[in-house]
Structure 1
Amino acid sequence: MEIHGNPPAYGWNPAFFTELPTGTWSAYEGAGLSGAGGNAQVTDHPKTFVVVSSVRIGMEFKARYIVAYNGNYARWFSTEAHAQEVYRATLNTVEPRIVNSFH
């Protein structure tokens, strides 16, 4: 999760955390869906992201976030409706090869 505020929640709703973030981490982002919706890719400096203590803490946060927005998982990508449509369409192209191999 990209930070957009001060600790301890770094701009995210602290009610969604079961455990507050442990700090931040910065890196240059990959191309992602830049140009197809969502935030424009930043290339002139690293972006700073929230660090949580485990994958479980991050996934619990995301689950609470999705529930709070009535199941709209695409809001995680962007608050703009068009960008959400692009995100949903992109996710629909992902093939779960490992899961499909169980068939």
Structure 2
Amino acid sequence: MSECFKFPAELTIYEVQDVHAELITFLAGKQEVALDFGPVDELDSAGIQLAIWLVNYCRNTGVQINTLTLSDLLTARLSLLNVSLASPIASEP
């Protein structure tokens, strides 16, 4: 069973640096994780950038994301930008 990182309610420029540092510590030595963006109800472009970075970081370092839960707000913002966090998670042949 993979450990879950639960994101804070606010994921804005004011929190992103601290959350990034927590993520680096959380991801150290992990082979698989669960990510819960469900609580996020305040978001700006820095938060979106962090989410995209995280999925790409996991893909590039071989950390498997077993569960990715997105808040309605994050889903709506990613949709406006025509960005999907799910595609990098898919296993490659």
- TM-score of the superposed pair, with normalisation by structure 2: 0.28
Higher relative contact order (CA 8 A, sep 6+): 2
Larger relative helix fraction: 2
TM-score by length of 1: 0.26
